Every structure is written in structure tokens, then in C-alpha cells.
Amino acid sequence: MNDLSDMEAVHRRILDRRRTNRDLPPYRAALIPDVTQILASYFARLHPGSTVSGVRRVGGGASKEQFFFTLTRDGTDEQFLLRMDPQLAITETDREREFVLLGAMNGIVPVPEAAWVDPTGAHFPQAAAIMKVVSGVTKPSDAGMKVSGLGTWLGEDLRGKLRDQFLDILVRIHAYDWRANPLPGFEAPDADPRQAARWSFNYWRALWQIDQGETRPIVALAEQWLANNMPDCSPQDLVVTHGDYRTGNYLFDEESGQITAVLDWELARIGDFHEDLAWVLMQAFGTIDNGTFRASDLYEREEFIAAYERASGRTVNRRTLHFYDIMSSWKCYVIVAANGIAAARSQHNHQDVLLTFLAATVAMFADDLVRLLRQGQPA
């Protein structure tokens, strides 16, 4: 029997916060003069004599309010990024946890340097983190207007330059020795072999319930299937998972094709490495080229699995991967149909119009669930 309350303590806190925030008055997008003032008062305390200038909003993204700014200290200008929670986001996460992970991954994989964090919104209106700016783009400049990384087209030249790096970085993230170098605030699901799957399932199921997602039969069936088919995870398969690893969530230098930073670590946790692989392999995050699917426009499915096995020395269990394939599509359904819509309906986000636009992806995720559940468990 699945204990539905079994999850990381941080996730219980996030769920409590989400429940509480539902009753707050509408949220308004932060204005540049207000953000400038908040930053100035923050640094006046931390670094008396410093000045804040050039505050401007960062475009793209579907989750957080983000601003570039310049901090001048002792006559030196430095560029930073402020990443601040709205009242309700399409993905409800914890800024401190992301901050801890950026610090731990620094020097292992390219990440923005974490500088300061206000985990509870003690100074900022909401929880916020500040990191150094890294140069690069998330998509080619000729990729056209897209609201997020969904289906980013890289093209042959960039694909050739990026694919080995993309794989290598994922393998290095998974190789992080979290037992020798513990991550404060991160718990390991090692009480029993199914705890890794259970924690993930329970958290997303609770989010679905809190946000009162409008059900449909395939989602109900998928939820029951996941509850009844949780795979075992051996201790050596418990890794740091990025949680949202895909094209669109890393920066690269458009000229050289060098990856300069992996972004959006907010869904990271200690879990089964298959969870990251299934997310990478989601059809919604890939491209279809003359009938051929490429994950993140980098690898065909089997090619990616084989390359990952070679590079990591791990063996991909096809039944476990199938479970996380279904989990990924179900999670995406929860994110767009429940979390995004709840944030927009309650007017607790700064980009309601984007959240309702993204909700049109529900049909793709429902269709993914149909395809995967019809396919059945691999032998």
C-alpha cells in the first residue's frame, strides 16, 4: 500500500506554502523601479556603498520573475541575475535548494555562480536567489519566437557541437557523489527500494489535488498505473537528478556551440537516474524531422539510451524507463493542466496569459499517456 504522505520534508513545506498562498490577493508583476529599490536596499545592508543599476527583465521562461542588473562595488561592475518566485508558479519549488545545488555543481558542470539567496522572502517580496550572469543563448537566434524550450530546433551544425556535451554533463551530474558530499536539505529515498518512485509520485499527486486539476480518464488511469507499478531502485542507481534536463534549459555560445551553463535546477532531487532519462526523452521536448524523433533535437531515442549506457557505465532498465516515461507525461499534464491553470485562475502569477497558452499542450501529454499505456510494459 502506498503511503501518500511519504515525501521529502522540503516538498511537504512547498505543498503547505502552495495551499496557504491560494488565499492571497492577486499578484502583480514586479515593476523595474520597485525591483531596483529592493535590490538597492538589499545591497546597502550587505555591501554599504554599492550601487545597483541597469535593472531589466529577462524574457522567456514560464516560471520565475527574472531580472538582470549591475552591481557596482569598489568601482567594479558585475552583472547578476535576480530570480524571484511569483506567488504561485507553474512549478512550485524552493530557491534555497536550487542555490545549494548550484554551489555543489560549480566546477563539476557549467553552472551560474550562486551569489546570494533569500529563501523565505525576508527581504524580497517572495523567495529569491541571485546568481552571476553567464553569457549564452537557450536557442539559436534564427529559431523563431517560441514561448519556452518546447521543441527547440537546433539544426545540424549546432547539434553536432552540442550533443556530446549534453550527454557528458548529464553523466557528470549523475556521477556526483552525494553520499561523500551531502547536499544540505536534500534527503535520499533509500528507506526501501520503491521510495524513489513513491516520493516523486506522491509529490506530484498532491500538487494535482491541491490545484484541483480537472481530471480525464487517461490521467486517472495513468495515476492508478503509476501507483501500482512503482519500480525498485538500487542504492547505486540513486543519483542527483536535474529534473528538467533538456534543450532550452542550458545556455550555449552560438558561435562555438560550447555549453556555458546548465540552468533551472529547481526540480533537482536525489532519485532514480531513469527519471532524468525519461524526461530527456519526452516527445514534447524534442523534434520530429521527416518522421524521426530526436530528444532535445540531439539524439534519437535508442541512440541516446545506448550513448548514456556507454558513457555512464550504467545499465538502463527498460521497465523502469517505461515507468518514468509514463511518470514524465503525467507530471507534464499536472504542471500545465493543474499548476499552471491554478496559478492563472487565482491571478497569482505574472504571466497568466502564457500559462493558459501553455495549457494547450495537455492534449499532447494525454496522447503520450495513451500511447505509453497502450504499449504496455517492455519484456
**Position 362 contacts another protein (CB under 8 A):** yes
CB of 186 to another protein, least distance (A): 32
CB of 379 to another protein, least distance (A): 18
Please, which of residues 80-139 interact with another protein by CB under 8 A? Answer: none
* Dihedral, CA of residue 171, residue 177, residue 183 and residue 186, to nearest 10: 70
Of positions 29, 44, 137, 306, contacts another protein by CB under 8 A? 29
Choices 4-12, 161-169, 225-233, 248-256; region in contact with another protein by CB under 8 A = 225-233
CB of 54 to another protein, least distance (A): 10
Please, which of residues 182-211 interact with another protein by CB under 8 A? Answer: none
Please, which of residues 49-68 interact with another protein by CB under 8 A? Answer: 56-60
Please, which of residues 227-286 interact with another protein by CB under 8 A? Answer: 227-228, 283-284
Of positions 214, 253, 303, 309, contacts another protein by CB under 8 A? 214
Look-up: residue for cell 502583480? 28
CB of 262 to another protein, least distance (A): 23
With beta carbons less than 8 A apart as the criterion, state whether 69 and 33 touch. Answer: no
Name which of 118 and 297 has its Cβ closer to another protein. Answer: 297
Choices 274-282, 303-311, 315-323, 350-358; region in contact with another protein by CB under 8 A = 350-358
Choices 14-22, 125-133, 214-222, 264-272; region in contact with another protein by CB under 8 A = 214-222
CB of 169 to another protein, least distance (A): 26
Please, which of residues 149-178 interact with another protein by CB under 8 A? Answer: 150-151
The span from the CA of 245 to the CA of 267, in Å, is 10
φ/ψ (deg, to 5) at 202: -65, -40
Name which of 46 and 221 has its Cβ closer to another protein. Answer: 221
Angle at which helix 362-375 crosses helix 217-228, to 10 degrees, equals 50
**Position 326 contacts another protein (CB under 8 A):** no
Name which of 223 and 275 has its Cβ closer to another protein. Answer: 223
**Position 354 contacts another protein (CB under 8 A):** yes
The span from the CA of 296 to the CA of 280, in Å, is 7
Of positions 91, 287, 312, 320, contacts another protein by CB under 8 A? 287
Name which of 135 and 224 has its Cβ closer to another protein. Answer: 224
| Binding footprint of another protein on the chain (CB under 8 A) | 29, 56-60, 145, 147, 150-151, 214-218, 220-221, 224-225, 227-228, 283-284, 287-288, 350-351, 353-354, 356-357, 360-364, 366-367, 369-370, 373-374
